[in-house]
């Protein structure tokens, strides 16, 4: 019997080995240097409809397949896209007219017309679209009434002047930076015929949209699909500038898997996490880039201790941001030198970076910290105090929170800091409810404009979680954004607002976050930056 | 039997109703908004979107509207995947989860029965010790560790199998093997214990006395009675595999439903949470019913007991 049983086991093992050999597929892609580009994406995109897009994976898919009037080039600069020239400004800065390039076509052969931009804006503002990205178009005339369903979408401040001219009417005078960088560089048109046909299903899969960008999206069946491709769009106006004919995307959520796929040559580009960066700093295929995401420690202006100015100043001088970035995070993030992150905005006259120009405003100074702490203790008449610090429950945020906790407790005798970590959605609900004392939070911008970060502390901004108000800061920001300033004057006003933010010390800028990617040594042209969070594959090439 | 099944089906409907109701109200107690961009929308914009989704109504009205939809087979639209119905989201993702779970179950049960038999027939020898050791490893070793090891050595180092990606049968092998460890271990332990007992019973002694070969004794007499208790394991194991394969799915990039569930909870995507909870509940009730029926068919004593009761 034992013999018979052993025979069976041997047979089973043989069958299993045979199956393994049949399934075996070698690492043929290890030195891949031609053909299709294979890449991974961290999460599933949700939609191909720009008006419904609020997350990175969908933006990543759209940046390959759609193009607006203006666009970010590979160096993070806003340049002409489908617009033939810079816009014409009339009506005291309220009306902006763009002219389209000639001969533009959608991937199905339809011409791209001004009507496609009008249809896109109306679709965006239409309450039936349920857009959560309304912040992008809410400056248009009559937006409020249209978005509430109180006026037809035809009342929205956008119209087609013939086939090639599109006119945007804003409710208020607009600064150039706002229209170029926030509005025209972010909005994308829709083929009005396809939108009319598909209705609210527009963009829910790759065959329910047509494309005017460098690539067509192929075989994406919807939000639950993990594989699709970008195939070169022969109707794209600059198709000669597109080198890769096909890019295949695989959603890969597990970091180890993504690294194994990259190392085995199955993919040529993938994103990696801080853990990988820490252990692979010398890897030449590792690329880190700063994002337009800045982390802050906010004080609650309604709490007895955290609203005390001496306490806020004390904490502002407590941290060594460089140490936080280099020793705690170690993922390519850099310590913040001021409220506005590096790489966000440039001086229109000199081209100098806003943050560099502002100087090193956020510095550790233990002596000053002690002086302010003693003054705060005196103000409050207390020697012992306990504060709660609220943070996201991710590994990196827990590490940062622990660094802040230990630094504060070490420097300020009598202060006890307790840390509460929550999932992001719950953290946000506590932000809005004002249920925190100290709050570790971030702001991610899609606009290369310092005003976006500085306005976080403006009166009436619903994300001003500090609840502190300052008339001087409000005046400076209002003046900078009323459209009456020349670019250089506006820049100076924003620098003044930046100084005011630092003087108020309502929050502490901590670090600018970075992202990291592995890019095959055989591939060139993939660039990442604050506003190119995902690479634009149209610039990718095989190295020769 | 028919009456029994009918009664169980009615109980299933009641269970589903209770689970749906409890989940709906518990879910509404999770803090946070289902909207993903609350930071950048103004209050008015946020209210306008909430109105479109009917989130501005009192919770009991939302509950009635939802249950009304369910009765008409409408499980709603996902908030996160704005233009996609919950039914199609689940429909797209359930296939891969069920496939790797089913394969893992079959592989685990078959190998488990073989190992259990080997252990029982060679009680006290090295073969028994080896099968026990394998079972202990299978139970105590988390499936995701096994998955990572399989991926690294068989996928990445040796290149025998795809590292990840969902592309035909080869890509299902490693996730299947990783998931099969637990059912293999549990089934082998059950079968071994039962078979040791059965092999000592009088009717086996009689069979041997009649001069039947060992193989005939094992396959015709001992095995059938030894695997009955293991059958009770299969139902719950199947459900655990389908619902608990999330980490393994992630490691091998299998487009399954596990991760959809976690994401829907984290992003407060109410219709998806509800749809998946009801789907899991239905699956568990269905498989448990099926197991009971099969159990009754394999062991007619149970069936007659049920008949007697009902």
Joined tokens for residue B18: 């209770």
End-to-end CA gap in chain A = 65
Does B101 lie in the same domain as B239?
A: yes
Does B114 lie in the same domain as B239?
A: yes
ipTM of the complex as predicted: 0.75
| Structural contact between residues B28 and B271, judged by C-beta atoms closer than 8 angstroms | no
A41-75 pLDDT per residue, tens: 988 888 999 998 888 889 999 999 999 999 988 88
Among the candidates B55, B71, B87, a domain finishes at B71
A264-283 pLDDT per residue, tens: 899 999 998 888 888 888 89
For B34, the enclosing helix (H) or strand (E) is: none
Q: Which regions of chain A carry the CATH code 3.40.190.10?
A: 12-254+520-542
| Total of domains in chain B | 2
Does B175 lie in the same domain as B242?
A: yes
Interchain proximity A226–B166, CB inside 8 Å: yes
Interchain proximity A462–B42, CB inside 8 Å: yes
CATH of the domain at B139: 1.10.3720.10
Considering only CB atoms, which chain A residues are within 8 Å of B92?
A: 221-222, 224-225
Taking residue B170's Cβ as centre, other Cβ atoms within 10 Å add up to 17
Considering only CB atoms, which chain A residues are within 8 Å of B30?
A: 426
Percentage of chain A exceeding pLDDT 70: 94
| Structural contact between residues A450 and A177, judged by C-beta atoms closer than 8 angstroms | no
Rg (C-alpha) for chain A, rounded Å, is 26
Phi, psi values for residue A364, rounded to 5°: -75, 135
Q: Which regions of chain A carry the CATH code 3.10.105.10?
A: 290-515
Q: Which of residues 224-243 of A touch B (CB under 8 A)?
A: 224-227
Residue B53 located in a structural domain = yes
Specify the pLDDT at position B124: 86
How far is residue A203 CA from its own chain's centroid? 21
- Banded model confidence at residue A34, pLDDT cuts 50, 70, 90: confident
- A204 interfaces chain B, CB cutoff of 8 Å: yes
- A171 interfaces chain B, CB cutoff of 8 Å: no
Q: Please report the DSSP string for B107-144 in residue order.
A: HHHHHHHHHHHHHHHTTTSHHHHHHHHHHHHHHHS-HH
Higher pLDDT, A155 or B257: A155
Q: What CATH homologous superfamily does A12-254+520-542 map to?
A: Periplasmic binding protein-like II (3.40.190.10)
Q: A37: distance to nearest CA of chain B, Å?
A: 16
- Banded model confidence at residue A379, pLDDT cuts 50, 70, 90: very high
Does B238 lie in the same domain as B182?
A: yes
Does B112 lie in the same domain as B235?
A: yes
Q: Which of residues 30-49 of A touch B (CB under 8 A)?
A: 46-47, 49
Does B109 lie in the same domain as B65?
A: no
Does B205 lie in the same domain as B99?
A: yes
Q: Among B253, B261, B270, which would you mutate to test the A interface (most chain A Cβ atoms within 10 Å of its Cβ)? A: B253
A227-265 pLDDT per residue, tens: 999 999 999 999 999 999 999 999 998 888 999 999 989
Q: B307: distance to nearest CA of chain A, Å?
A: 40
Specify the pLDDT at position A147: 87
Q: B255: distance to nearest CA of chain A, Å?
A: 6
Interchain proximity B92–A12, CB inside 8 Å: no
Residue B170 sits in which domain range?
A: 95-255
Q: Nearest to residue A156, comparing CAs of A175, A174, A173, A137?
A: A137
A390-424 pLDDT per residue, tens: 999 888 899 999 999 999 999 999 999 999 998 88
Interchain proximity A226–B45, CB inside 8 Å: no
B120-173 pLDDT per residue, tens: 888 889 999 999 898 888 888 888 889 999 999 998 888 899 988 888 899 899
- A304 interfaces chain B, CB cutoff of 8 Å: no
Among the candidates B71, B86, B108, a domain finishes at B71
Look at the pTM and tell me if it is higher than 0.80: yes
| Minimum Cα–Cα distance from A23: chain B residue | B170
Interchain proximity A1–B117, CB inside 8 Å: no
Interchain proximity B36–A250, CB inside 8 Å: no
B103-123 pLDDT per residue, tens: 999 999 999 999 999 998 888
Taking residue B22's Cβ as centre, other Cβ atoms within 10 Å add up to 11
Beta strands in A274-413 (DSSP E): 286-299, 334-335, 385-392
Taking residue A539's Cβ as centre, other Cβ atoms within 10 Å add up to 19
DSSP secondary-structure letter at A413? T
Does B183 lie in the same domain as B126?
A: yes
A380-398 CB burial, b ≥16 within 10 A, e <16: eeeeebebbbbbbeeebbe
Interchain proximity A264–B40, CB inside 8 Å: no
| Structural contact between residues A434 and A465, judged by C-beta atoms closer than 8 angstroms | yes
Does B64 lie in the same domain as B142?
A: no
Specify the pLDDT at position A31: 60
Q: Which of A207-211, A496-500, B115-119 has the lowest mean pLDDT?
A: B115-119
Considering only CB atoms, which chain A residues are within 8 Å of B131?
A: none
Mean pLDDT, rounded, of chain A = 89
A195-205 pLDDT per residue, tens: 999 998 899 99
Nearest to A132 among B36, B155, B214 (CB): B36
CATH class assigned to A290-515: alpha beta
Does B108 lie in the same domain as B63?
A: no
Does B104 lie in the same domain as B66?
A: no
Residue A25 has pLDDT above 50, yes or no: no
A102-123 pLDDT per residue, tens: 999 999 999 999 999 999 999 9
Specify the pLDDT at position A223: 72
Question: For chain B, which residues score pLDDT lower than 50?
Answer: 309-310
Nearest to B49 among A9, A130, A463 (CB): A130
Specify the pLDDT at position B305: 62
Q: Nearest to residue B250, comparing CAs of A253, A351, A297?
A: A253
Does B162 lie in the same domain as B233?
A: yes
Taking residue A8's Cβ as centre, other Cβ atoms within 10 Å add up to 13
Residue B135 located in a structural domain = yes
Residue B76 located in a structural domain = no
């Amino acid at each position: 019997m034992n013999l018979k049983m052993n025979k069976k086991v041997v047979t089973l093992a043989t069958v299993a080995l045979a199956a393994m050999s049949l399934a075996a597929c070698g690492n043929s892609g290890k030195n891949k240097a031609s053909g299709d580009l294979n890449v991974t994406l961290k999460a599933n995109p949700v939609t191909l409809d720009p008006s419904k897009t609020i997350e990175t994976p969908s933006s990543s898919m759209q940046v390959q397949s759609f193009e607006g009037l203006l666009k970010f080039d590979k160096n993070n600069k806003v340049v002409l896209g489908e617009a033939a020239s810079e816009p014409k400004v009339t009506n005291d800065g309220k009306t902006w007219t763009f002219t389209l390039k000639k001969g533009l076509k959608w991937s199905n052969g339809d011409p791209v017309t001004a009507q496609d931009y009008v249809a896109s804006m109306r679709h965006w503002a239409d309450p039936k679209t349920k857009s959560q990205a309304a912040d992008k178009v809410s400056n248009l005339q009559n937006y409020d009434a249209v978005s509430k369903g109180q006026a037809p979408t035809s009342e929205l401040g956008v119209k087609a002047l013939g086939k090639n001219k599109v006119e945007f009417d804003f409710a208020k005078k607009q600064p150039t930076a706002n229209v170029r960088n926030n509005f025209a560089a972010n909005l994308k048109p829709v083929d009005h015929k396809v939108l009319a046909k598909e209705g609210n299903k527009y963009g829910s899969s790759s065959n329910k949209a047509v494309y005017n960008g460098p690539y067509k999206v192929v075989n994406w069946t919807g939000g639950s699909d993990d594989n699709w491709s970008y195939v070169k769009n022969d109707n794209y106006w600059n198709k000669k500038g597109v080198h890769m004919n096909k890019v295949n995307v695989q959603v890969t959520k597990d970091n180890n898997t993504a690294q194994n796929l990259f190392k085995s040559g199955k993919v040529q580009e993938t994103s990696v996490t801080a853990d990988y960066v820490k252990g692979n700093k010398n890897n030449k295929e590792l690329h880190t880039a700063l994002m337009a995401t800045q982390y802050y420690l906010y004080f609650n202006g309604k709490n007895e201790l955290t609203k005390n100015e001496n306490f806020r100043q004390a904490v502002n001088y407590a941290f060594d941001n460089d140490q936080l970035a280099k020793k705690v995070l170690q993922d390519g993030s850099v310590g913040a030198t001021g409220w506005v992150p590096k790489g966000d905005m440039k001086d229109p006259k000199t081209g100098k970076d806003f943050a560099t120009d502002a100087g090193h405003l956020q510095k550790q100074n233990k002596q000053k910290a002690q002086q302010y702490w003693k003054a705060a203790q005196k103000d409050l008449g207390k020697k012992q105090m306990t504060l709660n610090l609220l943070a996201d429950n991710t590994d990196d945020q827990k590490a940062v929170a622990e660094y802040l906790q230990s630094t504060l407790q070490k420097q300020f005798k009598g202060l006890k800091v307790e840390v509460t970590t929550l999932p992001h959605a719950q953290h946000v609900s506590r932000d809005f409810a004002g249920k925190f004392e100290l709050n570790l939070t971030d702001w991610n911008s899609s606009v290369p404009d310092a005003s976006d970060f500085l306005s976080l502390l403006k009166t009436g901004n619903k994300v001003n979680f500090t609840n502190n108000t300052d008339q001087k800061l409000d005046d400076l920001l209002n003046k900078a954004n009323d459209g009456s300033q020349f670019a250089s004057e506006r820049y100076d006003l924003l620098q003044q607002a930046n100084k005011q933010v630092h003087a108020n010390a309502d929050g502490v800028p901590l670090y600018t976050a970075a992202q990291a990617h592995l890019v095959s040594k055989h591939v060139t042209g993939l660039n990442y930056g604050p506003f190119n969070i995902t690479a634009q594959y149209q610039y990718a090439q095989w190295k020769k | 039997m028919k009456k029994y099944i009918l009664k169980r089906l009615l109980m299933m409907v009641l269970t589903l109703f209770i689970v749906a109701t409890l989940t709906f109200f518990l879910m509404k107690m999770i803090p946070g908004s289902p909207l993903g961009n609350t930071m950048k929308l103004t209050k008015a914009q946020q209210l306008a979107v909430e109105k479109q989704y009917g989130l501005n109504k009192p919770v009991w009205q939302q509950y009635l509207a939802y249950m009304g939809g369910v009765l008409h087979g409408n499980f709603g639209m996902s908030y996160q995947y704005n233009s996609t119905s919950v039914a199609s989201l689940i429909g797209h993702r359930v296939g891969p989860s069920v496939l790797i779970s089913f394969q893992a179950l079959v592989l685990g049960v078959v190998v488990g029965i073989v190992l259990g038999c080997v252990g029982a027939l060679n009680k006290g020898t090295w073969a028994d010790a080896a099968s026990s050791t394998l079972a202990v490893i299978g139970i105590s070793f988390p499936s995701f560790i096994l998955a990572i090891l399989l991926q690294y050595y068989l996928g990445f180092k040796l290149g025998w199998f795809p590292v990840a990606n969902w592309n035909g049968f080869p890509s299902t092998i490693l996730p299947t093997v990783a998931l099969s460890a637990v059912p293999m271990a549990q089934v082998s332990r059950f079968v071994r214990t039962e078979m040791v007992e059965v092999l000592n019973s009088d009717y086996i002694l009689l069979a041997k006395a009649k001069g039947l070969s060992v193989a005939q004794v094992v396959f015709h007499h001992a095995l059938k009675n030894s695997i009955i208790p293991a059958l009770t394991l299969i139902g719950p194991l199947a459900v655990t595999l389908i619902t608990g394969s999330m980490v393994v799915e992630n490691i091998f990039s299998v487009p399954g439903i596990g991760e959809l569930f976690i994401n829907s909870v984290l992003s407060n995507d109410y219709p998806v949470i509800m749809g998946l909870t009801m789907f899991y509940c239905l699956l568990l009730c269905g498989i448990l019913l099926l197991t009971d029926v099969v159990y009754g068919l394999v062991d007619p004593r149970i069936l007659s007991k049920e008949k007697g009761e009902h």
